[in-house]
Amino acid sequence: MTTEDTRTYDVVVIGAGPVGENVADRTTAAGLSTVIVESELVGGECSYWACEPSKALLRPALLRADAGRVPGLAPAAAGPLDTAAVLAHRDRMAAHWNDDGQVEWLKTAGIDLQRGHGRLDGPRRVAVTTPDGGTVHLRARHAVAVCTGSGAALPDDLPGLAALRPWTSREATSARRPAGRLVIVGAGVVATEMATAWQALGTEVTLLARGSRLLPQLEPFAGELVADRLREAGVDLRFGVTVATAARTDGEVRVTLTASGDGRITASDGGRIVADEILFATGRAPRTGDIGLETVGLTPGDWLATDDSLTVTAVPGDWLYAVGDVNRRALLTHQGKYQARITGAVIAARACGIPLDTGRWSPHAGTADTAAVPQVVFTDPEIASVGLTTAEARRTGRRVHVVDYDLGHVAGALQHDPAYRGRARALIDPDRRTVVGVTFAGPGVAELLHSATVAITGEIPVERLWHAVPPFPTISEVWLRLLETYRDQTR
Ligand SMILES: Cc1cc2nc3c(=O)[nH]c(=O)nc-3n(C[C@H](O)[C@H](O)[C@H](O)COP(=O)(O)OP(=O)(O)OC[C@H]3O[C@@H](n4cnc5c(N)ncnc54)[C@H](O)[C@@H]3O)c2cc1C
C-alpha cells in the first residue's frame, strides 16, 4: 500500500549535497521553515565519491612524493605505500558511506529531512517519491532550491558501454582495491588526480588525452609540470588520441585508439591497450533529467541558468533557485557553498519584502563566481589558481599584464626541496593596477592560494600589496618576487 501526504514549508530544497545543506542551513537560520529532500546519502557527491575520498587517497601519495625530495628523508620515503592503511583512511574520510552523522547535523540545525526522489510539480510544489513507493507533496510558501548536483558524463558515441562496465569518478574514488592496470580517459582534474593516486598505490596507469596537454582549462605550465611528474612516476601518458572501441572480454578491458586532431598513434602497441579497468573522466552532466523541469516550462537534462542572485530567471515569480553544480557556474564544493550562503540571504530578503542588493560584491550577488573562483588540483605538483588565466583574458578581450616567476628561485621553496620545480603567474589589470588572476604550480602551494583570492576579491592595488610582507623563508615570498618583476617590467 502506498501513502500520500501533503506538507507546507517556507522553503523546499531538493538535494542534500554540501550545497543543499548550506542553503537549508541559511534559510533555517533566517527563521524560515525548511525541508530538504535527498534520494541517496545526505552529504552528496563531495562527501562520499568526490572531494573527501579523493583527497584521502591523494594525501599519502603527495606527502611521499614531497618527502622523497627532502635530503635525509628520501630513503625512508622510498618504499611502497601501505595500501590497506590508505584505503582504510579513505573509508573513514568517506564516513564508510554512511550518512548518520550528517542526518544528525540536519536535526541539530532544525532542518527537516525527507528521503526520496524529488520532482518539481508546478510552481512552488515538489512531489517526492519515497523509498517505500509513497508520495509526499511538498509546498513552498517562498522558495524551491534545486541543488541536485552533477554526475559523470559518459561518451554517448561509444558502442557497448553498458557491457564495458567502466569506472566513473564514483568507482575511482571508492574502489575496494587498486586495479592492476587502469586506463584513464580524460585530461582534466579528475583524470590527473586519479592517475596520481592510483599510480602511487601500485596501479599501472595509462592516461589518454584527446588534446595535446593536461589540465587544458589552466595555464599551460600547470599541465606541463603535472605531465612531467606523472611520467616520472611511471604513468603512460598518450596525447592526441580518442577511444575508438572498448570492450570487456574475459574480465579484461581491450581498448583501441584513433588519433584525434593532429595526434598520431606512435605507441609500439599500435594503439591497442589491455587493462583491468577503464575510467571515463570526461566531464560532468547536470542531474536534471528527472526532476520535473517540464512542469515549470524548462527542458529536462539542461543545466539550470541563473542570474547572480542564483534565481532561475526563465521561470517567472522569483521562487525557483538553482545552486551548486547544477547551475554550471563553478563545479566546486566551496563555490557552491558560497552560492548557498547568497541564496539563503536572497530567499530571506524576499520573504521579508526587503529589496535585494545585487551590485558587484553585494550580499545578494555571487560576484566571485565570475571574478575569483579558487581551485586546487591535488596532483604532484599541486596546482592552485584563482581568477583569470591568460587564455580567458584573451578570449574575453581583457587587457592584462602577465608576470611570471620561477618558484625554484624562492628561498622558502628551496627549503621545501633543493631542486624545487614550480612556477607562479599573476595577471595584473594595467589600468586599475590590481591582481585579476593568479596561478601557482608547485609542491605545497595549495595553502598559498587564499592570499591570491583575498588580493583579487579585495581589489587591492599593487602599491598596497608591497606592504603585505611575506615571511622568510616561506613559499609565499613569491608575492614579493612577482611585485618586483612587475615593477621592473613596467618602469
Ligand atoms: C572525483 C571528484 C573530486 C572532486 N574534488 C573536489 C575538491 O577537492 N574540492 C571541491 O571543491 N570540489 C571537488 N569536486 C566537485 C564537488 O564534488 C562538487 O562541486 C560538489 O559535490 C557539488 O555539490 P552539490 O551539492 O551541488 O551537488 P552534489 O554533491 O552532487 O549533491 C547533490 C545531491 O542531490 C541529491 N539529488 C539529486 N537529485 C535528486 C532528486 N531528484 N531528489 C532528491 N535528491 C536528489 C544527490 O543524491 C546528492 O546527494 C570533485 C568532484 C569529483 C567528481
Atom 9, ligand 1: residue with shortest CA distance? 51
* Neighbouring C-beta atoms of residue 176, cutoff 10 Å: 7
Contact indicator for 85, 96 with CB cutoff of 8 Å: no
Q: How many CA atoms lie within 13 A of 464 on its CB side?
A: 11
Identify the pLDDT of residue 402.
98
Return averaged pLDDT per consecutive 10 residues of the chain, 491 residues in all. 84 98 98 98 98 98 96 92 98 98 98 98 98 97 98 93 95 98 98 98 97 97 98 97 94 93 79 96 98 98 98 97 98 98 98 97 97 98 98 97 98 96 98 98 97 98 98 97 97 88
Q: What does the alpha-carbon distance between residue 343 and residue 337 come to, in Å, rounded to a whole number?
A: 10
Q: Which of 384, 381, 385, 383 is nearest to 443 (CA)?
A: 381
Q: How far does Cα 183 stand from its chain's mean position? A: 21
Contact indicator for 206, 189 with CB cutoff of 8 Å: no
Strand partners, 150: 286
Q: Determine if ligand 1 sits within 6 Å of the CB of residue 374.
A: no
Ligand 1 midpoint to CA 17 (Å)? 6
Q: What does the alpha-carbon distance between residue 295 and residue 302 come to, in Å, rounded to a whole number?
A: 14
Identify the pLDDT of residue 379.
98
Ligand 1 midpoint to CA 49 (Å)? 8
Q: Determine if ligand 1 sits within 6 Å of the CB of residue 203.
A: no
Ligand 1 midpoint to CA 265 (Å)? 36
Q: Which of 374, 371, 425 is nearest to 398 (CA)?
A: 371
Ligand 1 pocket mutation, candidates 23, 36, 38, 51, criterion most atoms within 8 A of CB: 51
Global confidence as pTM: 0.97
Strand partners, 220: none
Ligand 1 pocket mutation, candidates 22, 46, 129, 337, criterion most atoms within 8 A of CB: 46
Identify the pLDDT of residue 269.
86
Kind of pairing between the strands at 204-209 and 181-185:
parallel
Can you tell me which atom of ligand 1 is nearest the CA of 173?
1
Ligand 1 midpoint to CA 46 (Å)? 5
Ligand 1 midpoint to CA 402 (Å)? 34
Identify the pLDDT of residue 157.
87
Identify the pLDDT of residue 2.
58
Ligand 1 pocket mutation, candidates 39, 45, 453, criterion most atoms within 8 A of CB: 45
Q: Determine if ligand 1 sits within 6 Å of the CB of residue 340.
A: no
